[in-house]
Amino acid sequence: MIEQTNNPVGKSVPRVDAFDKVTGAAKYVDDMQFGPGLYYGKFVHSPYAHALIKGVDVSKALALPGVKAVVTGADTPGRIGLYMKDRYIYARDRVRYVGEPVAGVVAITEELAEEAVKLVVVEYEELEPVFDPYEAVQPGAPLIHPDMAEYKWPNFIFPEPGTNISEHFKLRKGDVEAAWPKCAVIVEQTFRLPHIQHVPLETHVAIARWDQTGEVTLWSPSQSPFSQRDLLAQSLDISHGDMRVISPYVGGGFGGKAGISIEANVVVMARAVKGHPVKVRMTREEEFTCTNVRQSLNAHTKIGCDAEGHVLAMETRYYFGGGAANDYGVNIARASGYSCTGPYPIPNVKGDSYCVYTNTPIGSAMRGFGMPEIHWGIEQIMDRLAEEIGMDPAEFRRINCVKTGDTILTGMKMPAVDLVACIDKATEAIGWDKEKKASAPHKRRGQGLAIMWKAPAMPPNPGSSAIVRFNEDATLNVYVGAQELGQGAFTVAAQMAAQALGIPYEWVRVSANPVDTKYSPYEWQTVASRITWSMGNAVKAAALNARRQILEIVAQYWDEDLENLDIKNGIVISYKSEREQPLKNMVVYGLPNDNFEGWQGGPIVGAGKFMPTYVTNLDSETGQGARAVVHYTVGAQAVDLEVDIETGQVDILKIASAYDVGKAINPDLVLTQIEGGAVHGMSSAFEGMFFDEQGRLRNPSLVDYKIATAMDAPREIHGDIVETPLEDGPWGARGVGEHVMVQTAPAIANALHDALGVRFNDLPLSSEKIYLALREREAGGE
């Protein structure tokens, strides 16, 4: 037996006077909003990656004056999870990663809660852990979820109980074995990517209150307020009508604040002290260790082409390190399975995509949702194939990339896109055919190209809704349930409402913050780059609904046909009689009958909704189906860089990107996404979370976990927009939020090869790794 008497994560540190002033100010703000009855919570975290829980003694913590409650796994018998319901809110029978919450302490101050955490005694029996996803699927590997058969999952997820495999997506098309002999060149490689962190400026914070009446309110900056409401209601047996989530602006999401994380823990704390709100704020160290991260990946990929450069066959196995719980991660593996070829309609494909339990932090959604991981290998292999047959990498991609109407790997017909135009724009902007010299004798210059695709990865029926309501002066309030993450969702909603109604943009007010599940229209989640498309369709429908109401009133008032009327610049006009009727006042008060003998009309309120109805099931053995996804967004990215061969230091000089967005509702916002995504994607190529042999994170802070800063950003970022209208997009628009970082890392790797003649299969691309590779090459006499 092993006893834990201290907290290994989120330790209290001595505070200087200035910090005391800050925390004092923060408590004042808390008291102003939630009253002096606000309590604070801290977690007892597991110090072990894998262990049985033999006992939890909270008596000493409860005896500490000012401690109000301690909750444990005994208080949370139900499992929770977005797709796979595979985890307890607090660990019950065992812990599965260092940092997993075992108990939660509620006290009158955060400092007191930290002290009480040290008094909770947990007895463990340590078990053998497994950290690598490939090792975790081998016979005899430690079983992390022995009760998997009892879990609940949707019909499109295919776990394998009795193993560590929570999802196995199979893709079978054509005859791979018959195709290999026809290939002039075959490249087969293994690629590895580590876990990386979302690193939001705002760490996870949640406040919950469980009233004596049974009503529960959660305040949480979240990408998924409605999904959180649903998950909490199901897991804690709360009526959806009594479970309310209020979500203010999100201080950095990137997928890390999608689904559910600490929010359920805080609600359970609040249940123990009914009537008192409880606040939990994760430290930066806890954010790294105890919240969601991007999954790791081991990928073994084999691709072959003929002498003319036509790709004929692909075989791939993706092993995603899903961490201790795969509730969201199973859908990442699924999405990577049905998109496993990348943006290439390869005729013969055998793909297996696995989500695997490991004793690491929980792998979940991150910007790109599996696509940056799989493109890392695919796009390097495509470069190698082009090199082997002596073809320009850009031309190789032009020949092989997906085009409108192609039958892709799942049997679906590709919606309208123009990836060739994206390749052309990116290569032209980077100066692809122009030789560029390095700035010094000890530096080398190189260029690289990579292309991508990504579909919104989601269930077949995620819905959006919107409401528009006029004020007396004809200004318009738009109500949506989508979240603003800095991507400009509310700006786009205002533009769409104005365009559909025929009123000036300046008249529109988007009333959406905070998102409040009690009052806001339903929105599944702000994820998957779906908001412009899905929410946009709902906003357009609501605006058109209001527009029709207005025109019907005026048509009756003027005794004219509806078809002759229009709304321009906030005025109803008749193309037949040339009469005009301003919207001001009439959109609330209506219009009078002759001689004011009664009135017609009244307050104009429009409602709209959107849900895709055409996505079909995919066969569990082949991955084939009529419509795998709603659509794909495609794009190309080219990189120009310089490498110092004496230090391995990489200087990104320029990133040029082009994406087919269908219709750019707001071109400035699209270009802003491209710029931010280029830096985010660049940063991801140099990031990594590293664990010791006990599963403890070695770099759990911004001191040791490096992200790109303004000093590291490319000297020039170029963006281009291609517009091939999407059949069901509002005005043809499709999303582009995540896509802008999908292929940055392989584009950098291809540029490094161009500069140095060295290939790198494993991320991160650290200066040390590059330096050692150059020294190894020198030692080998190459």
The dihedral sign for the CA sequence 744, 745, 747, 752:
positive
* Backbone angle region of 718, left / alpha / beta, with phi > 0 → left and psi within -120 to 50 → alpha: beta
Say how many C-beta atoms besides its own lie within 10 A of residue 776's C-beta.
Answer: 11
Integer angstrom CA distances of residue 140 from 48, 160, 562, 639, 775:
21, 15, 73, 44, 39
What's the angle, vertex CA 316, arms to CA 413 and CA 363, rounded to 5?
Answer: 95
Cis-peptide into 200, omega within 30 deg: no
d(CA 41, CA 20): 18
d(CA 678, CA 742): 9
Residue 148 DSSP symbol = G
d(CA 19, CA 14): 10
d(CA 747, CA 172): 28
Q: Is 263 one of the annotated active-site residues of the chain?
A: no
Question: Which of 689, 706, 693, 688 is CA-nearest to residue 760?
Answer: 688
User: Helix (H, G, I), strand (E, B), or coil: what is residue 453?
Assistant: strand
d(CA 436, CA 450): 19
Directed axis angle between helix 371-389 and helix 744-756, to 10°?
30
Question: Which of 539, 549, 489 is CA-nearest to residue 513?
Answer: 489
Task: Name residue, tokens 């859908």.
Answer: 331
Helix, strand, coil share of the chain (percent; to 5):
30, 25, 45
**C-beta separation of 605 from 521 below 8 A:** no
User: Helix (H, G, I), strand (E, B), or coil: what is residue 626?
Assistant: coil
Question: Which of 698, 737, 621 is CA-nearest to residue 367?
Answer: 737
Calculate the CA 449 to chain-centre distance: 24
Integer angstrom CA distances of residue 122 from 59, 464, 697:
11, 45, 21
Catalytic residue among 738, 768, 778, 782: 738
Say how many C-beta atoms besides its own lie within 10 A of residue 23's C-beta.
Answer: 13
Q: Which residues are catalytic?
A: 738
